[in-house]
Amino acid sequence: MVNHIKQLLKTPLVWRRVRHRRVMIYGSSGSEVILNYLSEGAEVFKHPEYEINAWVALAALVRGRITREGYLLTYLKWVKPRTVITLEDNDPLFYRIQPLMPSCKTVAIQSGRRDNFASSPIGGFFDELRRQGEHHELNASVIATFGPAVASLYSECFKHQSPIITPIGSIRNNSIPEHNSQSKPRVVYISSMPNFAVGGDPESDKTLAYYHGSPVTYRQNWLAERIAVLQAARFSEKNHLPFVVLGKRTAKHEGEHRYFSQIIGNHQWEFFPCQNQATSYERIHSKDIIVAVDGTLGYEMFGRGYRVAFLSGRLRLAGLGQHKDCNFGFPIPLPDRGPFWTNDLSEAETQRILQFVATSSQIEWERETRALREQLMVYNPLNTMLCDLLHALGVSTTGPQNWRAEFIPEN
């Protein structure tokens, strides 16, 4: 409680008047890509951990609503939205909005790959959603997912309600045009390194996360990265292909470049830090051979039909191979090895995967990937499905388009 109060005292206090709006965006994370498609103004709700609206806080205090939920409810009563949209689909509090305001329609849009990754032994997002469902009414009008496969993880959390679950793909991925380069193919490794600025040292033996109650250290979790990037570098050198590491962090986070430099050693390579939220998508060419462990960007490129090698041995290398959360295709039950994926990061196995991804014919690639792409990551350029969904809910949109530069935030 004391630490919570101390944190609140550090939170910026704003005196901006909250306006009535037909549309409210829950959480600032991802709000810019939603705003890109709205032709009407929207109120962006920022969590009290990041910003406290003094007027809302005072009203909540007077009414005895000094909890996170109470602050949100007070905010909602001032805005009086008809529709609330979020890209923070993994925040259980969002699913309290519709029961608290039945006249309000709510849309949760999946923004990242979802599994049972948790910050404590008691479980992660889906566990918490199920627990809260035992004590509170939870619901949403629509949950828009990457693909049909993940729908079951959401639907089983709602015992008494049945949100509409519809696949529309990743709206970030859908909003950025493809880069169809005629240049020589490259091997592009997608980094999923932690934020070094907050102590995410991949060589630390501190606990990073829990899977089904089992702890995983930073070192265990990132061992797959260490192996995968080195195997990708060796493959590119052997086949005389340029090798690129696509950074997850900006250039100011020097630890990411330093970490990969130590692993890759004398192999020739380039490193591209992430400048803004569109950079990584724009860096990848349609002819590239992409290597990923299990990050969202790898699945997004896979959804586009690009050639992606999934070296998905993260939990197996961490000694938790009984859990399938980080295996390719989760929650689809797939074998440990397939034409373009493996959970065994031995050199022979990774080179087999990379060879298939690099040399298979387009007919072979389509045959092996199409059904899984349709299940895991719908690709809908210009977000026509998102616009249709919002239109059906009575939200005015700009119509299908790419992500305009003025709405793309820096990282």
Each residue's pLDDT, cut to its tens digit, for the chain (411 residues) gives 334 444 555 788 999 889 999 999 999 999 999 999 999 999 999 999 899 999 999 988 888 778 899 999 999 999 999 999 999 999 999 999 999 999 999 999 999 999 999 989 988 999 999 998 888 899 999 999 999 999 999 999 997 788 999 999 999 999 999 987 767 899 999 998 766 554 457 888 889 899 999 999 989 999 999 999 999 999 999 999 999 999 988 877 778 888 899 999 999 999 999 989 999 999 999 999 999 999 999 999 999 999 999 999 999 999 999 999 999 999 999 999 999 999 999 999 999 999 999 999 999 999 999 999 999 999 999 999 999 999 999 999 999 999 999 999 987
Report the alpha-carbon distance of residue 150 to residue 388 in Å, rounded. Answer: 21
User: Does domain 2-168+381-407 fall into CATH 3.40.630?
Assistant: no
Do the Cβ atoms of 18 and 78 come closer than 8 Å?
yes
Class of domain 187-376: alpha beta
Query: For residues 308 and 289, what is the distance between their CA atoms, to the nearest angstrom?
Result: 6
pTM of the model: 0.94
Q: Reduced to 3 states, what is the DSSP secondary structure of residue 86?
A: strand
Q: Report pLDDT for 2.
A: 39
The ranges assigned to domains in the chain are 2-168+381-407, 187-376
What's the CA gap between 155 and 37, in Å, rounded? 27
Q: Identify whether the C-beta of residue 99 lies closer than 8 Å to the C-beta of residue 138.
A: yes
Q: Decide if 316 contacts 298 (C-beta within 8 A).
A: no
**Strands annotated E in 46-149:** 52-53, 83-86, 105-109, 117-118, 142-145
SS3 48: coil
CA dist 38 → 18, 79, 89 (Å): 19, 17, 19
